[in-house]
Structure 1
Amino acid sequence: MTLADRDAATHGPPSARKRGFSLGDGAIQAVLVLNAFIMLYPLFVMLMSSFKTNAEIFTSPFALPRSLSPANIEKVWNETNFVRYLANSVGVTVASIAVIVVVGTMAAYAIARYEFRFSGAVLMFFLSGMTVPLKLAIIPLFIQLDTLHLIDTYAGLVLVYVAMGIPSAIFIMTGFLRSLPRELEESARLDGASEWRIMLYVMLPLARPALVIVAIQNAVPIWNDFFFPLILITSDDRKTLPQGLTVFMGEFTTNWGVLFTGLSLAALPITLVYIALSRHFIAGITQGAVK
C-alpha cells in the first residue's frame, strides 16, 4: 500500500475532508454570529429606546423610534447631574488604573526578573487576594476607612479598587515578564544601562500587550461598579455613574427614555476605550522584540 492509499484509507478522500472542514467552519461561524446577536441586541434596544418617549417604549419596546429626537439627550445633559457623575467616574477609573498598573508592574517585575529568597511566597501572598472577594469584608473595610476618615472620599474608593486590582495585575504581568528572554536585559547591562532603564526601555515596551490586558480587565469592572460607591459614597456630588443613574428612577414614575439615554451615554466612553485598547493590543503583539 502506497502512502497516498494509506492516507486515503485513514482520512478519506480529499473532497470529503474538505467538505468536513467546510461544515465545521460553517457551524463555528453560525455559533459566533448567534453569540454576537445575543450580546449586541440588548445594547441595540437600549440605544433605540434612548430616542423614544415613555409611551413609545411601552407600546412598541422593540420597534425603531419614530424620530431621532435629541430631547432625551438634552434633558440628561442639562437637567440632571450627569456631567458631574461622568467626571467622577472618569477620575476614579483613571486614578485606579494608573496606580494598579504602576504598582502591579513594579511588583511583578521584581518577582519575575530577580531571584531572591521567598519570591514564590511573595507571589502567593499577592495571589491570595484573588481568592477572597473584597465584598465579603465590607463591614471591617468600612470601619477601617471610617477610622482613616476616607468615607465619602475619592481616595477611599480608589484605594478599594487598587486593592482589588493589584493581585490580578501581578498575576498577569509576572507570567508575561517571565516569558521574555533574559538575553535582552543582559545585553542592555553590557551596554551600561541601569536596572531602571532596562525595565522602562527594554522590558516594558515588550510587555505592552500585558499592560493593556491589565488595564482593560480592571477598567471595565471599576467603571461599572455599583456596590462600593453605594456603600462608601454618600454625597451626591461624589457619586459615580452607576450610582448616579439611580436618581433617574423616581419613586412613583420613571422617565425610561431619559434613563436609557443615561445608560447609553454611560456605556459609550468605556466602549470606545475598550475598542482603542483592543486595537493597540493587536498592534503590540506584532511589534518587533528588538529595535
Structure 2
Amino acid sequence: MMYTTRTSPLTRGVVHLVLVAYTLLCIGPVLLVAINSFKSRAAIFRSPLSLPDATTFDLIGYRTVLGQGVFARYFLNSMIVTLGSLGCVLLFGAMAAFALSEYRFKGNKLLGLYLSLGIMVPIRLGTVAILNMMVASRLVDTHLALILIYTAQGLPVAVFILSEFMQGISKDLKDAGRIDGLSEYTIFFRLVLPLMRPAVATVAVFTMIPIWNDLWFPLIVAPGEATKTVTLGAQVFIGQFVTNWNAVLAALTLAIVPVLVLYLLFSRQLIRGITAGAVK
C-alpha cells in the first residue's frame, strides 16, 4: 500500500515565505553587486536598485579589471590555492573519518574530540604563531603556505561531517571486500568513497567558500604580487581617497563565478548531503 502526503496551503505559504526571505537576504546582495557592475559610476550612486538601461549601461569596470594582466594572475592564484586546499581537505578528512569510524582503538573518542575542537577554536587566533612558522619554514609568499593553512582550517569540519556519514555505510560491504582480499586502501577508495559523494560535495562547497573569499591569511602570509589572490587583488581598486567602484564591483562579480559554478555542479549532491538523515 502506498501513502502520499499532501502539503496544506499554510505549509506551502510558509515555504514560499522562507524562499522569498532567503532570496532577499542571501541572493539579493549578490544580484545587487552584479547589476551595479554593469552601470556607470553616476548610475551606481544615483539609482543603485535599478536595472541598467541604454543610458546607464557601462562596461568600464570590466575593461579596467580585465585590462590589467595581473588580475588574471590573481584569479589563477586563487584557483591554485582553493583547489589544492580543497583536495587536501577532502582526501585527508575522508581518510581520518574512515579511520575513526572503522577502527576501534584506545583514545579513539578523544582523538575525534581533539579534531573537532578546531570547529570551536578559530584558526585566526593563532595568526602570529602561524606567521612565525611560515617565516621559519621560508614559506612566506608561497601557494603552499596558504594551502597548508586552509587545509588545517577545513579538516575539523570535514572530519566531523564525514564521520557521521561513514558510520552509516554497511559494515557487511566492507567485510565482504576484506574477505575477497581487498586492501584497506582499495576498500576506502573503491567501496566507501563512491558512497560518500553527497557528503563529499557538502564538505567541498562549505570548504571552498571561506577559502575563496578569505582576505586575512593572503594579506598576512602571501601579500606578494606573485601570490596575491583575487580577493586581495580587488583591494588595489580601493584607495585611501578615491575608490574605483566600477572596478571593485566588476572584480567581485567575477569572483562569484567559480563558487556559483561549483554549486551548480554539486547542487544535487549537496542537497542530498544536507538532508541525509533529516527524514526517514
Give the aligned partner of residue 22 of structure 1.
9
Deviations for 1:166-224, whole angstroms, at most 9, x for unmatched residues? 11111111111011110111122222322221111111111111111111111110000
State which of 115, 139, 145 in structure 1 corresponds to 2:134: 145
Deviations for 1:11-34, whole angstroms, at most 9, x for unmatched residues? xxxxxxx9x932233133223223
Decide whether the 8 Å contact of 2:33 with 2:249 is kept in 1: yes
Alignment of 1:274 with 2:263, yes or no, is: yes
State which of 35, 39, 53 in structure 1 corresponds to 2:26: 39
Decide whether the 8 Å contact of 2:78 with 2:212 is kept in 1: yes
Letter in 2 for 1:25: R
1:161 is displaced (CA, Å) by 0.6
Structure possessing the higher radius of gyration over alpha carbons: 1
Give the aligned partner of residue 230 of structure 1.
219
Matched position secondary structure for 2:243: coil
Deviations for 1:134-167, whole angstroms, at most 9, x for unmatched residues? 1111112211211111122111111111111111
Deviations for 1:11-70, whole angstroms, at most 9, x for unmatched residues? xxxxxxx9x932233133223223213322222221111111111112222222134444
1:86 is displaced (CA, Å) by 0.5
- Overall identity of the aligned pairs, in %: 35
Matched position secondary structure for 1:237: coil
1:228 is displaced (CA, Å) by 0.8
| Structure 2, gaps ≥5 residues long | 1-5, 275-280
1:282 is displaced (CA, Å) by 5.2
Give the aligned partner of residue 200 of structure 1.
189
Decide whether the 8 Å contact of 2:94 with 2:162 is kept in 1: yes
State which of 61, 65, 68 in structure 1 corresponds to 2:48: 61
Give the aligned partner of residue 251 of structure 1.
240
Matches of 1:280 and 1:23 in 2, distance apart? 29
- Bigger shift: 38-47 or 267-276? 38-47
Matched position secondary structure for 1:101: helix
RMSD: 2.1
Alignment of 1:73 with 2:62, yes or no, is: yes
Decide whether the 8 Å contact of 2:40 with 2:58 is kept in 1: no
* Aligned positions, number: 268
Give the aligned partner of residue 52 of structure 1.
39
Decide whether the 8 Å contact of 2:202 with 2:273 is kept in 1: no
Matches of 1:266 and 1:195 in 2, distance apart? 40
Alignment of 1:117 with 2:115, yes or no, is: no
1:84 is displaced (CA, Å) by 0.9
Matches of 1:47 and 1:284 in 2, distance apart? 29
TM-score (norm 2): 0.89
Give the aligned partner of residue 277 of structure 2.
none
